[in-house]
Amino acid sequence: IKEKIQNLDQLILNAMGFEAEFIIRKEIGFPGESIRSELILTNPTDLPVQNFSFAVADAQFPLDRAVQSNNASTLPINFTLSEIADYSQPYWLEKPIDGALYQVRNPTQIGDPFNQPFVAGNLSFQIDSESFSLDLPLMYKYNDQVDGEVKQPFVIVPEVDLELSSNQVFLVGGADPTLTVTVNFRDKFLEGDLYFEGISQDQFRVLSVEDIPSQKKRVFKVAFLPNGEGKKNLTATFATPEGKVYNLITKRISYKHIPNLTYFTPATIGLIQADWKLSGSKIGYIPGAGDDVPGILSSLGYQVTMIGEGDYSVDYLSQFKTIIVGIRAYNTNSDLANNQQAIMGYVRSGGNVIVQYNTSSPLLTSQLGPFPFTIGRDRVTVEGSPVVGEWSHPILTSPNQVTEEDFAGWVQERGLYFAEKIDPNYQTPLTMQDPDENASSGSLIVGKYGEGTYVYTGISFFRQLPAGVPGAIKLFVNLIEQ
């Protein structure tokens, strides 16, 4: 009944053309901030709307006038956000993701495309002695030169948030052990210290601190010290003397066809210390559909150069120890497909090429490697499924020994679009399979061609490397170092 009454009330207001807006001239606020907003009321009819009262954040704002005859009334609404106001985190991200599953605290929210408004007021009024009530979300309103009047939800963010120069730091010979942490202040600079949850204060050094007043930023450069092999997950944290702790990164998704979405992730870093052998050589990277592998390789100490149009002469390519082809490049990069002979000439002359997965259709060239193979539909979706390897194969022993233990802790999947109908000139050192499915040896194929080496792999390195999976990174280093 309550819902039907609300619908009838809204029908009456719509028929009258009555409008009420609760608006602000900025999109973002933080807990404890003083907010300056407006309530705008418009009634195009001669029937007076009166006895207004507006409530928001425990404050009441009466309006002792009637609104009628298309005369808009504007009431300043100044209030303060609670010091403990919730951030505008999407409900499906309030709790940590469990693998690939979102944990929703309130099951009644499941299916809602967006959160309920984080800041809203209640407007009550009378029309011809009948009482009405409207809940009004606070909206950021502005005029766009192309789209005209635009409204976006007002969101609450931390007063202080962080940015990281990298999500992975490697304590490996030749790698850069430093990290830049930028602390952003929404209001004024706050005194405080930076530390990392997961390690003690004596396991890193602050190399420099720089304030940038014009941008309200404080930039810390830190260096991590050796602290034992393996991977540690750290959280960068800025703490004030008053005990306030800030450790979130603010992220935004903005498209014209949906409301802007603001969300927050912990400022986590994967710190990996390992006794890996790697050369730090020059690597050429041919972009495909887009991935984050080049950044990880740079963090490992490799000198990564993106290869573009006009870079496909054998002389130019010969400067690189290895050329890596990004995911789906043969589906999307026509420059690569048109210069396939140059890539094969580079391999024949002693180069090393690693081709990451492509889909089987559409391919811009039918000959991906020096010897025939096709791209099938095989994939292994269980990230912890067993892997059988020829552990004495050079790919798995040089320069670092890869073992079955290196396939633990992978994320989301093993790989996809494995090779099929593989020419005998290729070797297949790994066999993978999902439970109760047929085994596939097409996840990694290796072939010698002339003086060089060619690799096609459907292994999901584009997922594993950004996630900081040590075993996958070690295997990829071996592929580079052939």
Q: How many CA atoms lie within 13 A of 440 on its CB side?
A: 29
Does a cis peptide bond (omega within 30 degrees of 0) precede residue 31?
no
Nearest to 473 by CA among 99, 97, 171, 164: 171
Written as one letter, the residue type at 108 is T
What is the value of pTM for the model shown? 0.90
The encoded tokens of residue 216 equal 């309200």
Beta strand spans in 254-349 (E): 261-266, 268-273, 282-286, 303-306, 322-325
Q: Per residue of the chain (482 residues), give pLDDT as tens.
A: 888 888 999 999 999 999 999 999 999 999 999 999 999 999 999 999 999 999 999 899 988 889 999 988 999 999 999 999 999 999 999 998 877 789 998 889 999 998 999 999 999 999 998 999 999 999 999 999 999 999 999 999 999 999 999 999 999 998 999 999 999 999 999 999 999 999 999 999 999 999 999 999 999 999 999 988 899 999 999 999 999 999 999 999 999 999 999 999 999 999 999 999 999 999 999 999 999 999 999 999 999 999 999 999 999 999 999 999 999 999 999 999 999 999 999 999 999 999 999 999 899 998 999 999 999 999 999 999 999 999 999 999 999 999 999 999 999 999 999 999 999 999 999 999 999 999 999 999 999 999 999 999 999 999 999 999 999 999 999 999 99
How many Å from the N-terminal Cα to the C-terminal Cα in the chain? 73
R_g of the chain computed on alpha carbons? 29
Residue with tokens 């193979």: 373
How many whole angstroms separate alpha carbon 449 and alpha carbon 224? 42
Q: DSSP class of residue 175?
A: S
Q: What does residue 6 show for φ and ψ, rounded to 5 degrees?
A: -60, -40
Q: Does domain 282-480 have CATH number 3.40.50.880?
A: yes
pLDDT in tens, 287-302: 999 999 999 999 999 9
CATH entry, 2-155, from 3.40.47.10, 2.60.40.10, 3.30.1360.30, 3.40.50.720: 2.60.40.10
Fold: same for 2-155 and 160-273:
yes
Looking at domain 160-273, which CATH architecture does it have?
A: Sandwich (2.60)
Cα dihedral 89, 95, 98, 104, rounded to 10, equals -90
Cα separation, 149 vs 139, whole angstroms? 12
What are the structural domain ranges in the chain?
2-155, 160-273, 282-480
The string of pLDDT tens digits covering residues 334-367 is: 999 999 999 999 999 999 999 999 999 899 998 9
- Parallel, antiparallel, or unpaired: how do β-strands 387-389 and 430-432 relate? antiparallel
